[in-house]
Amino acid sequence: MDWSIICFILLLACIGTLFSGVVFLIFGRSPLKAAKWLMPIALGIGFGGWLAYSEPEVSSAAEEESVSCRSDYTACASQEELVDTYKEMTAARVSCKRAAQKLARYGDAELPFYSFGSYFPYENSAKSGKISLTEDDARYQNGFGAMEHVKLKCVYDLQAREVVEIIASGE
C-alpha cells in the first residue's frame, strides 16, 4: 500500500472523529435524525476523494520511454525530459555545486540549497552528451570581505559524469 493512501485514510479517520463529535453536540443522542443528512454528505465526500486520488492509466509505450530515459540520457526526447527524469541529474547538480565551492578564492561560496536548477532549454544534451546548468543566486566573497553576487554556468559531461567547465560572471 502506498504511503499517500495510508496518510489519506488516517486523515479521513481524524476528520470523521471530529465530525462525529460535532454531530453529537448538535443532535444529542438521536442517530436517526443525524443519519438522514449525514449519509449523502459522507458519500459525496468519499466519491470526491476517490475522484481526486484516482490516477490515470499510463500507456506502456510512454512508460517504457520514461524508464529508458531515466537510465540512458541519449533516449530522452527533449531537454526538459532529460532534466526531469534522468537519474544522474542530481549527481550533476551536486558535482557542479562542489566545483563552484572550489572556485571561491577569498572564503566560502554561498549557494542556495537547491543549486543549479536552471538549464538551457534549447541545448541538445542528449546528442552532445554535455549539459549546461546555471545558478543565478550565488554569492562569493571578494578581496575586501564583502559578498558579491555572481552568475554561475556549469558544463557537465553526462558520459564521463564530471564537470568540464565552470564559469563565474559578475552581475
pLDDT digits (tens, 9 = 90+) for 62-119: 555 556 888 888 888 888 888 888 889 999 999 999 999 998 888 888 888 888 888 8
From residue 59, how far is each of 62, 65, 66, 148 by CA, in Å?
6, 10, 11, 49
Provide the b/e sequence for 43-76 (b: ≥16 CB within 10 Å). eeeeeeeeeeeeeeeeeeeeeebbeebbeebebb
Q: How much is the pLDDT for 145?
A: 86
What are the sequence ranges of the domains in the chain? 3-53, 87-170
Q: Is the pTM of this model over 0.85?
A: no
Question: What are the grid coordinates assigned to 100, written together?
Answer: 563552484
